[in-house]
Amino acid sequence: MRERDVVRRLVAHAEGRPLPRGTTRQLHVAADEDLLIVAFVRMGGESRPWGIAFGRPGAEPELLTVPEGRNRDLVADMCSRFAPALLRHLRTPGFVDVPPTEAEELRPLRQVWLPNGSHADMLHHLAYAYTFTQWRPEGATTLNPLGRAAGWLFREAQRPGQQHVVTATEALRTSYTFPAQSTRLEHLGFLLTWLDPDVAPGERFAAAHEAEALAVSTALDPVLERSRIEKPLDDWHDARNEGDARRERARASEIARVLEEELRRRYRLTAQAISHLRADGRRTNRGVGRLIDAALEEQWHEHTQPELRHAAGADPPPFTPSPETDRDAAAAGARYMAHLASASLAEAVLLHDDEELQDEAIARGDGFRGTIADVEDRSRGRWMRTAWTVRDENPGPLRLREGSWVSIIGSPERRGTILAVRTGSDGRRTFEVEVSGHVTWPVGSEVGFVESSNHQLSQRKSQLIWSDDEPGSWLTHARPDDDEGRR
Amino acid sequence: MNGSGTARGNTRARFEQWAKNPACRANTLSAVHNVRMADVARRLGYRPSFGQSVFALTRGNNFERQILADGGARLLPELVRHGVLPEGAKGLADLRVRMNGGPLPSLPAAIDATRHWLGVLAGQTDSRTPLPAIIASPTVRIPKGVMLPEAVLILDVLAVRYDQGPPPELIVGEIKTYADRGGHTDPHKLAVARAQAGLYLHALELVLAEMGCSHVRLRRKGFLVLTRPGSNFPSVRAGEDLRHQAERARRGFELLEAAARGLPPFSPVADDPVEAVMRAETEYSEACLRFCDRADQCHASAVVEGNPAVLGDEVRRFLGEVDLGRAVALLNGEDPRSAGERDLLRRLRRAGVGRP
C-alpha cells in the first residue's frame, strides 16, 4: 500500500465515507446485453461448482444446482447446461449463428462480471476439469469449449488493463478508497454497504460488518452446510441407495433451495455493484477505449481464432494452452512480455485523462510539474526538436533520471527525453527536456511530464521471442530432449 | 492436515495461533493453556466465526486415507516421480491413531511407536535391511521446557531415504487437501503449509537430539502433498526449503516460553481458564481478523480507543503513536501538540492533505 493510499484511507475515515479514487472511472461497464453476471457456489473441500447463477443485470438469474457437489457426473451435466450461455455470450464459433471473422466483429466488447476473486478462481477450476475431458460424447461438443473459454477468461483476468473479466470487489476497490482494513475489502456485501446512501454515516461500519457475516465467496458458510445441508444430503444418498425416487427428489429440492438462496445473494450483490458504478457520476476515462481495443485483439488471437479452427475441425487441432502451465518456454516468454506491455499501456492511457492519477504518479516520483522558463528550437534539417527548460518550485521524490523518456501530461503522443536535472541550493529543480517535434508552448505556462509508456517495446519483444534466431532462443526454444542430449 | 483439531494434545495449531499475534497476552494465554478463543468469544456474547466445513473435513480425511491406503500405493509413486524417494522405495509404517483411520489406540501409543521407529532408524547399520520408505503420522512430544504445559505434534508424513546411509535421511512432508494449481495456488495457503512443515522439522530435531540420535540426517528441504485439481490423487511439491521456517519455529518456541513465563500465575484447575483469557490484555491487529474468534470484540474496543489498527496495519504504522482522533483533528486543521504529531502532519502534507 502506497503512502498516498494510506492517507486517503485516513481521510475516508475522517469523512465517514468511501472516497472516489480518480476523477474518472477507469474501467468499462458494458451495456446490459453485453454483460453476463456469473456466480458460483462450491462444496467445502471441493473445487468444482455445486451451483451456478448467470444472467443479465436487471433480470432474474438462471440457477443451476446439483444435490451432491462431489458427484462428477452430476456436476458435468450442470456445467454442460451452463456452457452454451457463456459460449454464446463470448460469440464463440460453433455457438453463434454468424461467427466473427475478425477482431472488429467482436464489438461491442462482452464482459463477464463475478462477485469476487474466488469466483475468478473457479474459472481456472473449470478449465482444469473440462479443457481436455473426454467425459461422454457431449464432452467434446460442450465441455471442452467451456474449459477452453474458462481457461482463456482466467488467463485474461490476470492481464493488467483487461476489460473482459471484472470482479465486482476489485472494480469497487479500484473506484473507491474505503475506510476499513484491507482484509475486509474482499467482501462485496461489506463494500456495497459502505456505499449505500441510505445508511447513516455513523452506522456504516456496523451495517457493513453485519453484511460481512453472509458469505459471498464460492465457499458456503460452514454453519449453513452443517445446519441446512448435511442431513438432507445424507438422506438423499440413502434414498438413492434405496431407490426411493420421490424422497430423493424431495431432498434434492431442499438442498437446491439453500444453494439457490446463496447464489441469488451473490448474483444480486454483483448486479448492485454494476448499478452503483454506472450511477457513480464520473465519466469513463478516455483511455478505456484503447484498453477495449487491446482486449478485443487479445480475444481474437487467444480465443476466437483457435475456436474457429476447432469449429472447422482443423487437423491437427489448434494449440490449446494447458491450465497447468505453458509447456512452452517461448509461449511463456511471449505472454510475460504481453503482460508487461499491457501493464504499461494501461497505466499510460488512463493517467493522461485523470488528474488524480497524474498527482499519484508525481507523488511517487514518476513525473514532475513546473513552469516553462525557456524554449529553444534545436531542429536540424528535418529533425524537429525543441528543448524546454522547466522549473519545479515544489519538488518531491524523483525516480526519473537524465535520459529518461517522458510524455507531456495530457498529450501522451508528445514525447521527450530528460537531458539534465539540476537541483539548486534552495532545493528547487530545473529540468532540461528535449521534446520531439516543433512544440512551442509559451514561456511561463504550466506543464507536467510523466514517464513515457514503453508498451510498444514490450509488444515487439513478445513477438520477437517466437523467433528461433534471436538472442536467448537457446533457452526459449530448447526442448526437454535437447537437455537430455546435453547430459 | 493432522493439525486440524483431531487431537486436543496436538500443539501445532496453538503455536500457529500464537505466532499470528504474539503481542497479544490473551492470545498467548489461550495458546499456552489451550483455551479455545471460540469459548471466550461465546462468553463475551460474540458468535465464533472460524468453523470448518464438515464436507471439507471429510474430504481431507478421505484424501489422507486414500493416499496412504495399500502401503501408500498412490503417494509412493508420486514421491519417487518427484525425486523425494529413490526408485524402488517401498513400505509404509502406519502410526496413525484409530480416530484418523490408523491402527494405534491413542496418542501416547503413537508417541511410543514413533520413538521406537526413530530408534530403529538411528540404529540401522545395514542399508539393505528392509525398512519403510514412508512413516505416516509420526507423533512426537517435544522435550520439557519447550512450550508449556504440553507439546505434542503429529507430523503428516515422513519420507525416509536409505540410499545414502546408514544412517537414513528423513524428509518432512505436509499434506493439504487444496488443489495444486501451479503458480496460481494460493500463496498464503502455501506459506502456512511451509510454516507447519518447518515447525515439524524443528520438533524432529529436538526429539532426535533428546534421544541421542542427532546423527540421523534431517533434510532441510521438505515436500508438500496437495491434490491434483478435481481429483483425489496427490500432487507432490518437492524441494520446499524449510530452513527459515524451522528457524522461525525455534525462535518462536523461545519467545513463547518467555511470554508464558511472563503470564500471571494460573491454575487450570482452580481458575476459570476462559475468564482468565477474558481478563488478559489484548493487542488488536489486522491479522486477528484471519484467525481469532474474538476479533469483533477487540475491534469494537479499538474503535472506542481510537486505535488506528481499525483501519489496518499500514495506517497504524503510518500514524505511529498518534491515535485516530488526533490524526483526524490534524486533518481538520488543529495544531500539533507533540513532535510525533508534527512529524505526522509533515507526512500528511507531503501526501497532499492537511492544512498547508
pLDDT of A397 higher than 90: no
Cβ–Cβ gap A230/B54 under 8 Å: yes
Determine contact: B353 vs chain A, CB below 8 A. yes
Determine contact: B179 vs chain A, CB below 8 A. yes
pLDDT of A487 higher than 60: no
pLDDT of A215 higher than 90: yes
pLDDT at B18: 85
pLDDT at A126: 97
* pLDDT tens digits, B306-318: 999 999 999 999 9
Contact call for residues A184 and A218 (beta carbons, < 8 A): no
pLDDT at B269: 63
* pLDDT tens digits, A303-335: 999 999 999 999 998 988 889 887 788 888 899
Domain boundaries, chain A: 3-288, 364-453
Q: Sort out which chain B residues have CB atoms less than 8 A from A223's CB and list them.
A: 51
Cβ–Cβ gap A1/B314 under 8 Å: yes
3-state secondary structure of B61: helix
Q: Which residues of A307-319 are buried (b: 16+ CB within 10 A; e: fewer)?
A: bbebeeeeeeeee
Confidence of residue B4 (pLDDT cuts 50, 70, 90): very low
* pLDDT tens digits, A419-463: 999 999 988 999 999 998 777 788 999 999 999 888 889 999 998
What's the gap in Å between the CA of B295 and the closest CA on chain A? 12
3-state secondary structure of B98: helix
What's the gap in Å between the CA of A98 and the closest CA on chain B? 35
Q: In whole angstroms, how large is the CA radius of gyration of chain A?
A: 27
* pLDDT tens digits, B16-54: 888 889 889 899 888 888 888 989 999 988 887 777 899
CA angle A236, A240, A244 (to 5 degrees): 100
φ, ψ of residue A92 in degrees (nearest 5): -75, 125
pLDDT of A41 higher than 90: yes
- The mean of the pLDDT values for chain B is 87
The DSSP code for A285 is: P
Cα–Cα distance measured from residue A171 to residue A169, given in angstroms and rounded to the nearest whole number = 5
pLDDT at B259: 77
Q: Which of A9, A48, A124 sits opposite B315 (nearest CB)?
A: A9
pLDDT at B3: 40
Which amino acid makes up residue B92? L
Find out if CATH 2.60.98 is the number for domain A364-453.
no
What's the gap in Å between the CA of B318 and the closest CA on chain A? 8
Cβ–Cβ gap A359/B352 under 8 Å: yes
pLDDT at A10: 93
pLDDT of B291 higher than 60: yes
Measured over all CA atoms, what is the biggest interatomic distance in chain A, rounded to whole angstroms?
93
Confidence of residue A484 (pLDDT cuts 50, 70, 90): very low
Determine contact: B311 vs chain A, CB below 8 A. yes
Contact call for residues B16 and B195 (beta carbons, < 8 A): yes
Determine contact: B270 vs chain A, CB below 8 A. no
pLDDT at B13: 80
Domain boundaries, chain B: 53-261, 273-350
Give chain A's end-to-end CA distance (angstroms, integer).
47
C-alpha grid cell, residue A135: 467425459
pLDDT of A483 higher than 50: no
Measured over all CA atoms, what is the biggest interatomic distance in chain B, rounded to whole angstroms?
80
B316: closest chain A residue by CA: A6
Q: Sort out which chain B residues have CB atoms less than 8 A from A69's CB and list them.
A: 55
The DSSP code for A229 is: I
Cβ–Cβ gap A14/B332 under 8 Å: yes
A158: closest chain B residue by CA: B184
Contact call for residues B85 and B157 (beta carbons, < 8 A): no
Give chain B's end-to-end CA distance (angstroms, integer).
56
